[in-house]
Amino acid sequence: MKISFVAGFGPIVRDVEASHRFWSDALGIEMSELSPGYYATDHVDGVKHFSLWPLSEAAENTFGTPEWPQDIPVPQAGIEFDVESHEAVAEAAAEFEAKGYRILRAARLEEWQQTTARLLSPEGLLVGISHTPWMHEAAQADAS
């Protein structure tokens, strides 16, 4: 697999308001509320997308239910590594599986046109392998 860039990073939060106060008020990272309880910004240098991702949304997006499964460690943060194409997401997930890692959610095209697959790292990070077309388009425009 060839990683193009880190597409996003952010803590997975249980208390959205307390986390928002810490990251936004205390650290000064200005974020917009993109959906109820989901604060994010694409304006932190060095990171394409920084967000406060409620645990219930991480669970819904990974497992299709707002409850995180009790038999899987609750992640503290999520990181997404972007690859070069939609097809490369499934290929990367297959590489992880071949190395013995459990894929929590197979590659899937999201309604917002990002393809993602997810697994947990040994440290408990929710790791996304993704292809985010608009981020690649922006990178190509910047290179021109």
- How far is 52 from 81, CA to CA, in rounded Å? 17
**Pick from 39, 41, 62, 60: nearest CA to 50:** 41
Report how far residue 47's alpha carbon sits from residue 40's, in angstroms, rounded to the nearest whole number.
Answer: 11
What contacts 80, CB < 8 A, 6 or more positions away?
6, 7, 8, 9, 49, 116, 127, 128, 129, 130, 132
d(CA 109, CA 117) in angstroms, rounded, equals 9
| Domain covering 3-143 assigned CATH 3.10.180.10 in the classification | yes
Q: Which DSSP helix (H) or strand (E) runs through 63? A: helix 55-63
What is the per-residue pLDDT across 27-63, written as a single tens digit (0 to 9) for each? 789 999 999 999 999 988 888 899 999 999 999 999 9
Decide if pLDDT at 144 tops 80.
no
Q: Where do the structural domains in the chain lie, given as residue ranges?
A: 3-143
The pTM of the full predicted model, rounded to 2 decimals, is 0.80
The string of pLDDT tens digits covering residues 58-77 is 999 999 999 999 999 999 99
Residue 143 has what pLDDT? 73
